[in-house]
Amino acid sequence: MFHHLFKNRFHESIACAALLAGALTLQVMWIVNLLVVRIPFIARLYTIIPSVGPISGMYLKAIGTFVFVFLIAGWYWRGKDCSHHRKSLLSFFLFSTLIFFVMTLPFVYSFSVRFE
Amino acid sequence: MYNLNIMNGYLLTTQPLLRIFFLEPGTILFGCLLMLMSAALVLSFLVKLSSLITSALLGFLVLIHLTLDGILAFDLIGSVTRLYEDSSTGVISELFSTHRWLLIQIPILFTIVAILLLSVCHGHEKEPHAKTYVFAMQFCVIVSFLTVLVIGFESLI
């Protein structure tokens, strides 16, 4: 009876928040991986489960980042027109994916130059 | 004389090789994951045809995510592979082991993003403003599938 009063809304803010959270999580993931490889203190800091190693802390960090960014971005964009962010967020997401794949290659993140 | 041992245990597990495979839950889950991802990959291209396909794809993505969580849980509990070994040892399998642990994050993250995008686009798949998000969802499914394939191939090295 009242169905014409309710419009089936397209919650673009959630989609934008998901894309932003996904992209930022990818960036955080490769940066944390690089820090864990380079700095022993960071590796020890992220070792929450000793039998697994630093990857346990890295996974928790990734989950935390995604949830935090998604909630903050979703709250910020809620009820706002975010259609102008659509293309830029998609580009950032694609770029982050590419960067993650390149920066997590073993011979890239373990690359070092020694001066003697 | 009929061998009663055949009746014990699982089907076809009297052969040692098959028994090894059946006793490893991670391998079984990985096989299930490949099948689910293949189905999701096909459905992701048919999303614009009907909302029913979107609902089915949502279900598949939830199952994929749960399967990935299961694989991760089994691997974390088992912890059979060594992580962050000194690369100067030159043991390529150990390097790839770390790489696999990093790569598995991609399908886990991308299935969540795809589920969120698909939930938003549900019922709006054909609309022009949903085009970007449908593309992003398809990208997530394709990249997840390829990543799972890469993980599979690297585990053979």
Q: Nearest-5° angle of CA B13, CA B18, CA B23? A: 80
A67, part of any domain: yes
Q: Which domain holds residue A46?
A: 11-98
- CA B84, B90, B91, B93 torsion: positive or negative? positive
Count of CB pairs separated by less than 8 Å, A with B: 90
The encoded tokens of residue B84 equal 């962050």
Per-residue pLDDT averaged across B41-48, rounded? 90
Higher local confidence (pLDDT), B142 or A11: B142
Residue A104 · residue A56 · CB < 8 Å? no
Q: Nearest-5° angle of CA A84, CA A85, CA A86? A: 95
Domain count, chain A: 1
Residues of A with CB below 8 A from B110's CB? 22
Q: How far apart (Å, rounded) are the C-alpha atoms in residues A58 and A56?
A: 5
Q: What's residue B84's pLDDT?
A: 55
Integer angstrom CA distances of residue B8 from B2, B11, B12, B14, B49: 13, 8, 10, 9, 48
A43, part of any domain: yes
Residue A53 has what DSSP assignment? B
What percentage of chain B carries pLDDT values higher than 70?
70
Distance from CA of B3 to the nearest CA of A (A): 43
Going from N- to C-terminal start, the domains of chain B cover 17-155
**N-terminal to C-terminal alpha carbon distance within chain A:** 81
Digit-coded pLDDT (tens) for B58-108 = 999 999 999 998 888 877 766 545 555 544 444 555 666 778 888 889 999
Q: What's residue B63's pLDDT?
A: 94
| Complex ipTM over 0.90 | no
Cβ contact, residue pair B84, A37, below 8 Å: yes
- What's this model's pTM, rounded to 2 decimal places? 0.81
Distance from CA of A72 to the nearest CA of B (A): 15
A66, part of any domain: yes
Residues of A with CB below 8 A from B112's CB? 18, 22, 66
Residue of chain B whose alpha carbon sits nearest to that of A83: B129
Cβ contact, residue pair B110, A22, below 8 Å: yes
pLDDT-based confidence at B7, cuts 50/70/90? very low
Q: How far apart (Å, rounded) are the C-alpha atoms in residues B132 and A75?
A: 21
pLDDT-based confidence at B30, cuts 50/70/90? confident
Q: Specify the 3-state DSSP secondary structure of B66.
A: helix
Mean pLDDT over each residue of chain B, to the nearest integer: 78
A109, part of any domain: no
Q: What's residue A86's pLDDT?
A: 86
Q: Does position B140 have pLDDT exceeding 90, yes or no?
A: yes
Residues of A with CB below 8 A from B87's CB? 106, 110
A3, part of any domain: no
A107, part of any domain: no
Q: How far apart (Å, rounded) are the C-alpha atoms in residues A37 and B72?
A: 21
What phi and psi, each to the nearest 5 degrees, are found at residue A34?
A: -65, -45
Closest by Cβ to A15, choosing from B83, B87, B120: B120
**Any CB–CB contact under 8 A between B63 and chain A?**
no
Mean pLDDT, 10 residues at a time, over chain A (116 residues)? 57 90 94 89 86 84 94 90 87 94 83 68
